[in-house]
Structure 1
Amino acid sequence: MRAEQPERNPAGTGPGAKEVVVIGAGIGGLATSALLAREGHRVTLLEKRDEVGGRAGSWEQDGFRFDTGPSWYLMPEVIDHFFKLMGTSAAQQLDLRKLDPGYRVIFQEGLDTVDVPAEREAVTKLFESMEAGAGEQLSAYLDSAEDAYEMAKKRFLYSTFESFAPFLRPDVLRQLPRIGSLLLQSLNSFVEKRFRDPRIRQILGYPAVFLGSSPFEAPSMYHLMSHLDLDDGVLYPMGGFTTLIEAMRRVAVEAGVEIRTGADVVSIDTSARTPGRSPLDRRSAVVRGVTYRAAGKQAFVPADLVVSAADLHHTETALLPGELQTYPEKYWQKRVPGPSALLLYLGVRGELPQLEHHTLLFTSDWRENFGRIFGKETSVPSPASLYVCRPSATDDSVAPAGHENVFVLVPIPADVSIGRGGLEGGGDARVEVLADEVIGQISAWAGIPDLADRIVVRRSYGPQDFADDLNAWRGTSLGPAHILRQSAFFRGSNRSARVENLLYAGSSTIPGIGIPMCLISAELVVKRLRGDVSTGPLPEPAPRRRAPQGARGA
């Protein structure tokens, strides 16, 4: 086990501070620990793996450095907001570049490849060239997307849903009919009513995958995602997403967080508690600490507050006894997981101008493709719609000279029986056969006939790896899917209903999936502790706070 001691003690830590343990050092855990230390608490962050980052990890071999997970830098103001709460900014911590084109889309049958530019005016002209009248339609669509995004950011994304009084505001009440309409129709239906060209429909529908869902299942409220890539554009942090993780680790340690890696939590430990007078207070226990395993030995860390940023299914069903589970196994039997993924990390000799920094490959029959992933009877699509990232198009530091860094993500069913990946074709047979098919598909569709022969580094990663490494429910690569009954207040609380002072953060709780959502989930922990039921982000910058004596329980 490696423990990373804080470089300095926060000025706000005092005798009234809580002893806090945060479980899981992914985006949600790093952000939660940093913000709580900034609040003046004494924070220990426990991470099962040897490095922080969770899904947003890093892997290096033979001069190639791969981001192992997230690769789209969206909602930059949310990321900047986190750093400002920590007394700095994204501009101070990261070297961000805007990609133009934002991404390339290659279609399956007889449809021209489309490069989606970085600016709204250029995108509007592009869509008009693809379908008469589509430019004007896109302007209206993006205006609607921006309105939906601003409403979500102002009233929903930053809410703990502890109180519904803030939603009874005139701006929300005026828009209830529109909100209802956006929630009750699918994103696919919303898009098809406005555009005929199949390429435009797919470009506007695909963001549902970022939410762990299908355009046929995700509510049309999520058309707001198009505002993020078509209005705001797509950014890239030079050096890769590992620079974001390193910046978050740095500000956390500077705030006073002690990070212990190689620390596999085995239980959240509690003491009996007298239930409250309210019939709604079912909490019969209170946290007293966390037990973890490191280097073959068990250790106990006492805590007044525990925040689990680990997978919520794992937290509830593996770290707590049955009688203290808010979300027991029977709850998960009715939930819908987001997709798992086949991930490929490929080091390729020579240049690949056929691929942009971001390239999407779309099959023609989307309904069949998504039906295989999300249907009652699941199977791996063949061919599959997939995503390719070539960061070496922008960043020379991620590959040796004369080589390309290629990351491939193929959405597949959340099914651990598909297996594990491995190095140089050494994964489970089903995973490696699929990997060969995918490499062949990219080769054929993108016009790179010798792609397979030029691969000098190859690593695959499958659903079982997500389960083994991240304790991911059913091997999902993202978390619970963003369908209507798993969004906003339907997603579940970030507070245990059975254990006092046990809170949750990360992609499987509110507000949801993705780096920005995980950062907001950390902020919601702070709001929960403050008793803040407002629906907007915390003011910047966050002052250092001295925890009052006898701070009330969460």
Structure 2
Amino acid sequence: MEKKVIVIGTGVAGLASAIRLQHAGYQVEIYEKETMPGGKMYKIEKDGYQFDLGPSIVMMPELYQEVFELAGRDPNDYIPMEKIDPMYSVFFNNNEDGYEISADFIQLMKTLEGFSYEDAQGFLTYLQKIYERFLVAKNHFIQRPFRKATDFYNPYTMWQGLKLKTLGNADRFIGKHITNEHLKQMISFQTLYIGISPLNGPSLYTMIPMIELLYGVWFIKGGMHTMAKSMEQLFFELGGKIYYETPVDHVIIENQKATGVKAGNEEIEADYVMCNADFPYAMKHLVRDPKAKGKYTDKKIDKMKYSCSCFIMYLGMNRKYDGVKNVHNFIFSDDLEDNLKGIFNGDRIADPSFYVYIGSKMDASLAPEGKDGLYILVPVSDLSTANYFWDEETIDYYRTLVIERLKKTAGFENIENDIVSETYMTPLDFASKFNAYNGACFGLRPTLTQSNHLRPQSKAKKCENLYFTGSSTHPGAGVPIVLMSAKIATEELILDDQGEKKAHVSNSSLQGGYV
């Protein structure tokens, strides 16, 4: 008889876990409080415009494709992708035309040499050093669980850990090789993709721009929500069930063993529970048995460090923005260091850096004919850090700063008069709609003391048959990484249920690469 697994939430990691488990022979049911799949990979629809709600940059496409290949499907039938080149533009106040960052290495080197030959050489040195550390991280840390202390605290693993040289921060590491401040910022800022500042984020996370520059940036037709809808489709094809508008009240735990969930005033039994709700939220609200919480008491959850949050504007424009060359655009403040410090100090930022994404440049169906939609993301403090409240005045404050800055940026000069549709997401919305604890979009901040074996693991330490997946668990945030988290979590479950050989066979698809 098939064993039953309940998955809580249809976020990226929840869907990927459900597909893997259904494919491995389990009877899987997902319970989701919203009306459609994706979690933060949701979409906003208004006045004929469609926007990705959260994630918008596709890196490491192999990991997106793997879950379809595992089930014997051609990913191109589900998530058709196109490589973007140039990958993005970067704008500074004193350079209105911006810099284009190309996926073509020859063009990229010309851009770098435009700063200086010394900085171009320093960039190559940075690439070589971070690539070595990337291979160590990929082979020994990112793709494996830490079930027990000795999985990390053994001579071999600790020796590999020393090779990562994690004590320096990202900004300082880049600065050893590149002296031009603008170029350094163009490379180091990507740590914000996982919600941590390059000023205090471990230097290892400068692997993010390396992955971007070496492997490219991609676009999924229809936007990122296509990935979520396609995973939902595949899960249904494999025989899985999803119950929408059915929030889980709590995990049923008996004698420190998960036996099901309470959802929709009903107790539903299961052999295993896979929780894709944000780990801090889950430990506070869904896991109620004090013994099952283990060290993750309410007090500890509140003391943990959280990633930044986001204020996102979704603007429908009355025309095409042909004067803007690229889909992805980064607009930097005059003082990025002050900007970054302000975010993590809880300040209302006076001169914010932000990101503008125009998905309708790649797929015209995302906006009415002859028009574009602008997605504008401003990194801001999480709710526990912020020294201000999110109200209409705060929204208008950031909206005004963004519009005034864009009016000085090539291609966006008439933005204020072009807006015909407008909506927002604030940290409060991320907290209420997606149970993102403290409104932190990327979950727990990946500090040294909240990474690898020190980050919440897939397998609950003090409760049998309960597993966790998603951005606040190991290995961390970002769509490719949470897809890895789903792989690790399902391998852990299958290992406990069927043993080591079955776990590997049921969850393997590709050889080499990132998997």
TM-score strictly above 0.5: yes
CA change 1:489–1:415 in 2 (3 A) is: same
CA change 1:121–1:449 in 2 (3 A) is: closer
Give me the whole-angstrom Cα distance separating, in 2, the residues matched to 1:361 and 1:321: 44
Q: CA deviation at 1:150?
A: 2.6
Residue correspondence of structure 1 range 108-257 to structure 2 within 5 A: 108-109=93-94, 113-162=98-147, 176-179=161-164, 181=165, 183-257=166-240
1:61 is aligned to 46
Q: Is the 8 A contact 1:58 1:68 kept in 2?
A: yes
Q: 2:426 aligns with which of 462, 485, 501?
A: 462
Q: Deviations over 1:264-290 (max 9, x none)?
A: 111111222xxxxxxxxxxxx211211
Query: How many percent of aligned residue pairs carry the same amino acid?
Result: 27
Q: CA deviation at 1:175?
A: 5.1
Q: Gaps spanning 5+ residues in structure 2: where?
A: none
Give me the whole-angstrom Cα distance separating, in 2, the residues matched to 1:383 and 1:170: 47
Give me the whole-angstrom Cα distance separating, in 1, the residues matched to 2:510 and 2:176: 43
Q: Report the AA paired with residue 385 of structure 1.
A: S
1:363 is aligned to 333
Q: Deviations over 1:473-517 (max 9, x none)?
A: 111111111221111111122222222111100111111101111
Q: Is the 8 A contact 1:145 1:226 kept in 2?
A: no
Q: Deviations over 1:87-144 (max 9, x none)?
A: 2243332221111110000013457611101122321221112122222222222233
Residue correspondence of structure 1 range 531-546 to structure 2 within 5 A: 531=495, 538-540=507-509
Q: Report the AA paired with residue 200 of structure 1.
A: L
2:21 is aligned to 36
| Residue range with higher mean Cα deviation, 360-369 or 323-332 | 323-332
Q: CA deviation at 1:435?
A: 1.9
Q: 1:503 aligns with which of 467, 470, 483?
A: 467
Q: Deviations over 1:214-270 (max 9, x none)?
A: 001111111211222111111101111121111111111112210011011111112
Higher helix share: 2
Q: Report the AA paired with residue 280 of structure 2.
A: H
Q: Is the 8 A contact 1:83 1:89 kept in 2?
A: yes
Give me the whole-angstrom Cα distance separating, in 2, the residues matched to 1:147 and 1:114: 28
Q: Report the AA paired with residue 472 of structure 1.
A: A
The secondary structure found in structure 2 opposite 1:121 is: helix
User: Please, what is the CA RMSD of the aligned residues?
Assistant: 2.4
Q: Deviations over 1:159-187 (max 9, x none)?
A: 111257777999967755432x2x01001
The reply on whether 1:318 has 2:285 as its aligned counterpart is yes
Q: 1:386 aligns with which of 337, 354, 357?
A: 354
Q: Is the 8 A contact 2:146 2:152 kept in 1?
A: no
Q: Is the 8 A contact 1:131 1:196 kept in 2?
A: no
Residue correspondence of structure 1 range 415-426 to structure 2 within 5 A: 415=383
Q: Is the 8 A contact 2:253 2:289 kept in 1?
A: no
> Which stretches of structure 1, 4 residues or longer, exceed 6 Å deviation after superposition?
164-174, 532-537
The secondary structure found in structure 1 opposite 2:219 is: strand
Q: Is the 8 A contact 2:91 2:98 kept in 1?
A: yes
Q: 1:82 aligns with which of 49, 67, 74?
A: 67
The secondary structure found in structure 2 opposite 1:215 is: coil
2:451 is aligned to 487
Q: Is the 8 A contact 2:3 2:26 kept in 1?
A: yes
Q: Deviations over 1:314-352 (max 9, x none)?
A: 111111225132312221233111111101111111122
The secondary structure found in structure 2 opposite 1:333 is: helix
TM-score for both structures, normalised by structure 1: 0.85
CA change 1:446–1:330 in 2 (3 A) is: farther
| Residue range with higher mean Cα deviation, 409-418 or 224-233 | 409-418
Give me the whole-angstrom Cα distance separating, in 1, the residues matched to 2:96 and 2:367: 32
| Residue range with higher mean Cα deviation, 478-487 or 109-118 | 109-118
Give me the whole-angstrom Cα distance separating, in 2, the residues matched to 1:122 and 1:169: 45
2:480 is aligned to 516
Q: Is the 8 A contact 1:160 1:527 kept in 2?
A: no
